[in-house]
Every structure is written in C-alpha cells, then in structure tokens.
Amino acid sequence: MANQNLIPVIVSGAAGKMGREVVKAVAQAPDMSLMGAIDTSPEHQGKDAGELAGLSEPLEVPITNQLEPMLGYVAGERHMQPGVMVDFTHPDAVYDNVRSAIAYGIRPVVGTTGLSPEQIEDLASFADKASTGCLLIPNFSIGMVLLQQAAVTASQYFDHVEIIELHHNQKADAPSGTAIQTAQMLAEMGKTFNPAIVKETEKLPGARGSVADEGIRIHSIRLPGLIAHQEVIFGAPGQIYTLRHDTSDRSAYMPGVLLAIRKVLQLKSLVYGLEKIL
Ligand SMILES: NC(=O)C1=CN([C@@H]2O[C@H](COP(=O)(O)OP(=O)(O)OC[C@H]3O[C@@H](n4cnc5c(N)ncnc54)[C@H](OP(=O)(O)O)[C@@H]3O)[C@@H](O)[C@H]2O)C=CC1
Ligand SMILES: O=C(O)C1=N[C@H](C(=O)O)C[C@H](O)C1
C-alpha cells in the first residue's frame, strides 16, 4: 500500500500497559503507520517502542517525551492521511494532550479515563470549533458495549440497581470511566433508581459506595490479580439479575482501538462511547 493511504498514528503512553498493546496492534495493522511513541516515564526514554511492546523486530520508533514536536511533525506529513493520536496515559495528563493534538489538527482517540464532565465539555467545544474529530471511549471492548445494552434493557423493568467495578490496584481513578458511563446510560432512561425503603446510616463512610446519577450506586474494588471487571446487579422482590463482564487480557480492547482510529478520520466533532461508532 502506498504511503498516502496509511494513517499516521502517535501513541501517547506508549510504554504503559495499554500503550504497549496499541503499539503492537498499530504496527500489525496494514493501513496504519506508527509515527511516534510518547511516554514520560524516564526509564523508557530512547527505547524502541516495538521491542518494548514485545515485537521480535524493532520498529525504529524510539520512545520520547516530546509530544508537541511529534504532533507538529505528523501534521506536516501532508502526503499521508490526517494523523491520529491514541492516548492511554493518566487522568492528570489526558486533557492537555488532547487539547494539543486538536490544536495541531491531529485527531485524538482517547482511552484514558478520569476526565471531569467540565473537561469533556470543554474538549467537545474545542473539537467542534476546530472541526476536528475526537473520540472519547471509556471502554474499547465489544463485551462491555453488549453488557451496557443489556443493562439499559433491564433497567426498563427493574427499579433497583447497583454497579460493582473491579480493577487492578495500579488504577489511578475511581470509579472507573466505564462504571460512570454505564450509570449515565441507565440514568438517561428517565427514572430514579433505588427508592429508599429504610433510613440508612453508614457506620463507616463510603460503605454504600458512591451515588452517581439518578440514585445509582457504584462500588470500586482494587486488588492485584484483577485486570478489569464490572457487574451490574438488578434486584426486585424474589429475583436478582446480574450482568458481568471480565477482561482477562488487554488485547480485548484492540479491535475497538483500531476501529476508532479509522472512524475518527470521518468525524468533525467529539463523540463519546464505542457504541456510537459500531
Ligand atoms: N478505554 C479503555 O478501554 C481502557 C482505558 N484504560 C485507561 O487508560 C489509561 C492508561 O492505563 P494503563 O495503560 O493501564 O496505565 P499505565 O500506567 O500502565 O500506562 C500509562 C503510561 O503513560 C505514561 N504517562 C503518564 N503521563 C504521561 C504524559 N503526560 N504523556 C505521555 N505519557 C504519560 C506513564 O508513565 P509513568 O508510569 O512514568 O507515569 C505510563 O507509562 C488509564 O486511564 C486507564 O483507566 C485502560 C484500559 C482500557
Ligand atoms: O484502568 C483500567 O484498567 C481500565 N480503565 C477503563 C475504565 O476506567 O473504565 C476501562 C477498563 O475498565 C480498564
């Protein structure tokens, strides 16, 4: 395939758990070219992104912490498709990274969670003004989209629901972006869940989890040995309906990430959620 058909991709957070998977997936995609691998972690500077990701051959793409020069370089590659930046970094870094990418006309595909509603609104208006596609995807796995659809269906028939999300203990944000999105989807059904039956007292603050939109409670578990898991539990007199999704390997997210890289080129504004591009 000639170069002008390739999508130039920058991976931000390339040395991290998700970033390494993305480097592998992009390197193996026939329509993409890994142009930059950004990561701030000092011990990985200068290392080959492919070797770090476990590929047998080097990709000749060194890890660097210089995002802006890389955005400028890719923006200047006019003989290729418009550039895409995939971000799997940290809740404290993602907002600035996305603003910078949009400013250079590079389309962000964002997996990093932990953005506040205000930050998301601001990024949406920035992308809109720049007529630049931007995808914010709290969860790239198809299984989670299916779980959320089943939860929305069930919420028509159940008035009581709680969410439990379980993750590895290196996760910075709680609750997970996926749990927040799931609660938002249920809240959009237009009813308030979990009407109080008794006056509850929390003898230890937080014992009943956090209360998201429309009374939906979210409980966050953090343990080594976990990757990413979510349960949505509906209750009614005499029955419990439990939906559960388990991620056992981060490769589960890669078909969604590659799809998002291709789809973001067709967008002119910010879109939130994998289900919108399937
Ligand atoms: N949407 C989805 O489907 C999924 C989303 N996630 C989310 O993705 C994010 C990353 O997760 P994960 O890979 O597990 O995290 P890791 O901590 O393993 O990786 C993040 C990497 O980004 C680096 N980093 C931090 N700040 C910057 C910055 N400003 N620029 C470039 N690199 C930076 C980190 O370096 P250092 O360690 O030195 O800080 C680290 O190497 C999290 O928000 C997580 O919730 C995770 C899985 C799936
Ligand atoms: O940090 C993680 O690992 C994950 N984060 C995302 C989230 O916060 O929902 C997606 C998935 O749960 C894995």
pLDDT exceeds 70 at position 269: yes
User: For tokens 């002119």, what's the residue?
Assistant: 268
Residue 75 clears pLDDT 90, i.e. is over it: yes
**Same domain? 155 vs 30:** no
The CB of 89 under 6 Å from ligand 2? The reply is no
d(CA 51, CA 21): 12
Query: Ligand 1: which residues within 6 Å by Cβ?
Result: 12-13, 15-19, 38-41, 88-91, 93, 111-114, 137-140, 171, 253
Beta-carbon contacts of residue 93 (< 8 Å; ≥ 6 apart): 40, 112
- Does residue 69 have a cis peptide bond before it, meaning omega lies within 30 degrees of 0? no
- Helix-, strand-, coil-residue percentages of the chain, each rounded to 5: 35, 25, 40
End-to-end CA gap in the chain: 26
Element (H, E) at 150: helix 142-155
- Asked if residue 233 belongs to a domain, the reply is yes
Torsion of CA 272, 277, 249, 242, to 10 degrees: 70
Looking at the structure, tell me whether residues 89 and 167 fall in a common domain.
no
Query: 253 with 129, same domain?
Result: yes
| Ligand with an atom nearest the CA of residue 89 | 1
pLDDT in tens, 83-123: 999 999 999 999 999 999 999 999 999 999 999 999 999 99
> Does residue 172 form part of some domain?
yes
Q: How confident is the model at residue 68 (pLDDT cuts 50, 70, 90)?
A: very high
Minimum CA distance residue for ligand 1 atom 31: 39
Letter for the amino acid at 215? G
Q: Is 18 annotated as a binding residue?
A: yes
CB atoms within 10 A of CB 247: 19
Q: Which of 89, 164, 176, 232 to mutate to test the pocket of ligand 2 (most atoms within 8 A of CB)?
A: 176
Residues 125 and 24 in one domain: yes
- Which residue carries 């205000």 as its tokens? 118
189: containing domain = 141-246
What CATH number has the domain bearing residue 107? Answer: 3.40.50.720
Residue 276 lies in a domain: no
Residue 256, annotated as binding a ligand? no
Q: Is residue 55 part of a domain?
A: yes
* 262 and 154 housed in the same domain: no
Q: Please tell me whether residues 131 and 9 are part of one structural domain.
A: yes
Q: Is 167 marked active-site?
A: yes
Which CATH number do you get for residue 214? Answer: 3.30.360.10
Query: Is 277 inside a domain boundary?
Result: no
- Say if residue 10 is in the same domain as residue 104: yes
* Same domain, residue pair 128 and 32: yes
Return the ligand number nearest the Cα of 21.
1
Mind giving me the DSSP string for 21-37?
HHHHHHHH-TTEEEEEE
Split at pLDDT 50, 70, 90, the class of 80 is confident
pLDDT tens digit sequence for 237-259: 999 999 999 999 999 999 999 99
Specify whether 171 is catalytic: yes
Among all bound ligands, the one having the nearest atom to the CA of 256 is 1
Pair (122, 190) in one structural domain: no
- pLDDT tens digits, residue range 6-58? 999 999 999 999 999 999 999 999 999 999 999 999 999 999 999 999 999 99
pLDDT of 1 higher than 70: no
Task: Please work out whether the CB of residue 18 comes within 6 Å of at least one atom of ligand 2.
Answer: no
Query: What average pLDDT is seen over the chain?
Result: 97
Q: What is the Å distance from ligand 1's center to 16 Cα? A: 6
Place of tokens 């939130």: 272
**Which sign, positive or negative, has the C-alpha torsion 163, 166, 167, 173?**
positive
Q: Are residues 168 and 257 located together in one domain of the fold?
A: no
Query: Is 47 annotated as contributing to ligand binding?
Result: no
80 and 113 belong to one structural domain = yes
Asked if 120 and 24 sit in the same domain, the reply is: yes
3-state secondary structure of 241: strand
Kindly tell me if the per-residue pLDDT of 165 is higher than 60.
Answer: yes
Position 169 confidence tier, pLDDT thresholds 50, 70, 90 = very high
Q: Shortest CA distance to 104 belongs to which of 122, 89, 126, 87?
A: 126
Biggest CA-to-CA distance, the chain: 67
Domain total of the chain: 2
Give the C-alpha separation, 235 to 197, whole Å.
13
**Left (φ > 0), alpha (ψ -120 to 50) or beta: where does 91 sit?**
alpha
Give the position, in ligand 2's atom list, of the atom nearest the Cα of 139. Answer: 10
For residue 228, how far is its CA from the centre of ligand 2 (angstroms)?
6
- Assess if residue 211 is contained within a domain: yes
pLDDT at 3: 72
